[in-house]
Amino acid sequence: SFLRGLKSLGGRVSAVGPGSVDQLSKGARECLDAYRSCSHVLDANELLTHARALMVEEPFSRIETIDEPLVEAAAALREALGVPGLSSATARLCRDKVAMKEFLRARGIPCAASAGVRSMAELREFAAVEGFPLIVKPVDGFNANDTHRVESMAALEALAPKLGLDGQRRLAVEE
């Protein structure tokens, strides 16, 4: 495991997680030097409060996560606490593939056509211009969860009720 690897290298390992220490596996508890429970781990401000409390015991030299949804929160912690590592701007590009592709294109690096869409009208327009097949997925998704390969306009229309495009939620679509 990740924790075991850190401990084997001689690291002092502290963690902030969503459950109580009793909810951790025995193996995880044995690898941790300190632990704080945080009810909203995706809330950077709440994470910061818990991280600062842990830093009183011993300053951090690194802040890492292996959980994709926490990449941006971990970057925000690094910046707030002055710990080296991936910046918030770079972390956002890791999570938001539409922004990442815009960043790459602006620097002359070719990549698949893509867009962030908030409505079926925008999604249909992208499909009309780029054709099929298309990949449709949440911008802030986790791995391949809720990722759909769409082969035709009929398949896109059939998928529409599942997408939840309501003008608020943003999906990534790419050729």
Strand 34-37 to 14-17 pairing: parallel
Instruction: Check whether 59 has a pLDDT greater than 90.
Output: no
Q: Could you tell me which residue, 54 or 57, shows the higher pLDDT?
A: 54
Instruction: Check whether 111 has a pLDDT greater than 80.
Output: yes
Instruction: Check whether 95 has a pLDDT greater than 70.
Output: yes
- Residue 141 pLDDT level (bands cut at 50, 70, 90): low
Residue by residue, DSSP assigns 141-167 as --TTTT-EEE-SHHHHHHHHHHH--SS
Question: How much is the pLDDT for 55?
Answer: 87
Q: Model confidence over 30-51: pLDDT tens digits?
A: 999 999 999 888 888 899 999 9
- Please state, in angstroms and rounded to a whole number, the distance separating the CA atoms of residues 85 and 82: 9
Closest CA to 118 of 46, 56, 169, 52: 169
Is the CB of residue 29 less than 8 Å from the CB of residue 37? no
Q: Give alpha helix (H) positions in the chain.
A: 2-8, 26-31, 44-57, 71-81, 88-95, 97-106, 120-130, 153-163
Burial 87-124 (b: 16+ CB within 10 A, else e): ebeebebebbbbbbbbbeeeeeeeeeebbbbeebebbe
Question: How much is the pLDDT for 80?
Answer: 93
Q: 133 preceded by cis ω (within 30°)? A: yes
Q: Could you tell me which residue, 68 or 118, shows the higher pLDDT?
A: 118
Model-wide pTM > 0.95: no
- Please state, in angstroms and rounded to a whole number, the distance separating the CA atoms of residues 97 and 117: 13
